[in-house]
Amino acid sequence: MFYTLKVPACFYSLFFCCFFLNTTKAQPAFVKTSGSHFILNNKPYYYIGTNYWYGGLLALQQDSVRGKERLRKELDFLKSQGVNNLRVLAGSEGIGQINGVQRVNPVLQAKKGEFNLRLLEGLDYLLYEMGKREMFAVLFLSNNWEWSGGFLQYLNWNNQLSDSTMQSKLGWDALRDNTSKFYSCMPCRQDYEKQLRFILNHHNKYTGRSYISEPAIMAWELANEPRPMRARANAAYSEWTLHTARLIRSLDKNHLITLGTEGDQGTESMELFKAVHTPREVDYLTLHIWPKNWSWFADTSITASLEGVITKSRDYIRRHEQVADELKKPLVIEEFGLPRDRHSFAPGSATTARDSYFASVFSEWLRSKRDTGSIGGINFWAFGGSSRPVAGQLFWKKGDDFSGDPPQEEQGLNSVFDSDESTWKLIRSFTEER
């Protein structure tokens, strides 16, 4: 015998209402902007993050189980320290020697127009694990510098730069002369756009979502530190940044877009820096600070020069903060670093000057947070995790563990390892700030 159970109509209304609310609650939110602020779940989003450029490569190590295990442990460690935003390499180009140094390996586009899907599967795994921990990634799509191929490789593929020239060690003027050609090389730009489209249209094998629908991604960045390099390239550079930002926006309505600049140090003038960040397609501003590269101290005299380095950094931040306020857009201090005391590369050596320097930069972020200001985020350079430099070896070689220092830099130069207790204590003092 069969019985028909009559259920009141209000039950169905209540059921579907609860189902809708639970589904809505379970759907992760995207980071957005509102005026000068980042917004997440309708609340201001201020974050402390790090540069983890190699994060998408860890799952691709020859021993993938070990690589994935390292990745999970390092994400757990960062989360425990309150670090929840990671800046990561997404696009890399070419193989072999470039500008006299070894470049990152493996790469996304080893040969012109040939893309390595497996490399994006490594990034898939990173984003999957980050999503589980409610962390967000800023993905840069190429590089002004040689350590991941970048613009020099596009010039080489399009006969604007010979193999011998690309592989040799270029002087600063020659590097500027050559790299500046990228912005007016239309075939180079078209090749870059093929890679851009390949990345944005990719589907994550672990989450089942396309990258343009992936909430673990906070923003797309045109490149790492794109510079005009020469004043004669300013107009082409400006046109390229606008064109590319518009292209990304046409493909992706969910994620933020930024350029990846260092500030007026890289764009050569504050006027140009402001101009390229003015278009509505560019959601926020970035700046990088490199006291060593910019000769704010000499040789190993970090401690002796520290007061001046801190003053110059504070002035640099506040000049760019003023521009962000004028444009009514957020600002991120997304790269800054300092070697260990006495310029040591050895883990376990003192980080007294670095800790003081980090505290001064973090304090600028905290000031902004307390005042609901425009400095919304900060990413120190760089997380070295559980890696350690190889004894007796200065530079990275294929097969070595990845660290915060790219292949062209001395391993241990700027890396913050998981064992740097005083630095992590300092970082926690800011991430635990309420």
Reported as half-sphere exposure (CB side, CA atoms, 13 A), residue 315 has a value of 8
Q: Rounded to an integer, what distance in angstroms lies between the CA atom of residue 236 and that of residue 151?
A: 14
Nearest partner of 391 among 400, 380, 402, 382, judged by Cα: 400
pLDDT of residue 28: 74
Q: Rounded to an integer, what distance in angstroms lies between the CA atom of residue 259 and that of residue 248?
A: 11
**8 A C-beta contact, residue 256 and residue 216:** no
Write the pLDDT tens digit of every residue in 55-95.
999 999 777 789 999 999 999 999 999 999 999 999 999 99
| pTM assigned to the model | 0.92
Enumerate the β-bridge partners of residue 109. 93
Structural domains of the chain ordered from first start? 36-431 (3.20.20.80)
pLDDT of residue 63: 77
Q: Which two tokens stand for residue 3?
A: 């019985």
Which H/E stretch holds residue 327?
helix 302-327
CA 323 to chain centre: 21
Q: Rounded to an integer, what distance in angstroms lies between the CA atom of residue 301 and that of residue 304?
A: 5
Q: How far is CA 343 from CA 52, 296, 362, 407, in A?
A: 22, 14, 22, 18
**8 A C-beta contact, residue 247 and residue 194:** no
Q: Rounded to an integer, what distance in angstroms lies between the CA atom of residue 213 and that of residue 251?
A: 11
Secondary structure (DSSP) of 145-165: SGGG-HHHHHHHHTTSS-HHH
pLDDT of residue 27: 54
Residue owning tokens 């994620």: 255
* Binned average pLDDT, 10 residues per bin, the chain of 434 residues: 40 42 56 97 96 97 87 98 98 94 94 96 98 98 97 98 94 97 98 98 97 98 98 98 98 98 95 98 98 89 92 98 98 97 93 97 97 97 97 92 95 97 98 82
CA 354 to chain centre: 21
pLDDT of residue 433: 81
Burial 17-35 (b: 16+ CB within 10 A, else e): eeeeeeeeeeeeebbbbee
